[in-house]
Structure 1
Amino acid sequence: MPARIYQRPKNAMQSGKARTADWLLEFAPAEAKRPDPLMGWAGSGDTQQQVILTFETEADARAYADKYGIAVHVTPTPPRRLKLQSYADNFR
């Protein structure tokens, strides 16, 4: 079952960088979701889709995937760009 390894992006609503250093291993969905006839909720029988494993480093996540024979795709973290501007720039 394929999986994806990535770093959690910073939430748009947070100013700090809490929990952005962790690497996550998330399994790809094995089957498509279908609506429940009674409630209309989307669901499937795939329980691996609910599992998200957290690691301190990318190497730890790769080692775990290699140990259990999981095919992985590593998504690199995009570089963080700072937008430096002064308060006076708001009035130009």
Structure 2
Amino acid sequence: MTQARIYQRPKSAMQSGRARTDRWVLEFEQATAPHADPLTGWAGSNDTRNQLRLNFPTLEAAEAYAKKEGIAYHVVPAPERKLKLQAYADNFR
């Protein structure tokens, strides 16, 4: 059976804004272990679903899609935002 996880994208360390962090992503779990290609040595897999990421505007839309398509899923809760409140003068202490 197809396994998937639904999560909300966190803000990357390289971005200052919160663009596209309100979207929910459905990502398929890897069904088979990766194997090394004998010629190049690169890691490969027969399962191409792990390359697929579906974006949804809400958690409910992602869950509805998974239920409609018969995909077993689990929801990964969004990480909590940690605000570091400081004054500009703190830079000169």
Range class of TM-score, shorter chain: over 0.9
**How many residues are treated as equivalent by the alignment?**
92
Contact 2:28 2:53 in 1 (8 A): yes
Distance 1:91 1:72 in 2: 49
* Structure 2 residues not aligned, in runs of 5+: none
Q: For residue 21 of structure 1, give the secondary structure of its aligned residue in structure 2.
A: coil
Q: For residue 12 of structure 1, give the secondary structure of its aligned residue in structure 2.
A: coil
Following superposition, which runs of at least 4 residues in structure 1 exceed 3 angstroms of deviation? Answer: none
CA deviation after TM superposition for structure 1 residue 37, in Å: 1.1
* Structure 1 residues not aligned, in runs of 5+: none
CA deviation after TM superposition for structure 1 residue 39, in Å: 1.0
> Partner residue of 1:86?
87
Under a length normalisation based on structure 1, what TM-score does the superposition of the two structures give?
A: 0.94
Q: Is residue 2:54 matched to residue 1:53?
A: yes
Map 1:1-92 → 2, pairs under 5 A: 1-92=2-93
Q: Percent identity?
A: 64
Distance 2:92 2:72 in 1: 52
CA deviation after TM superposition for structure 1 residue 85, in Å: 0.5
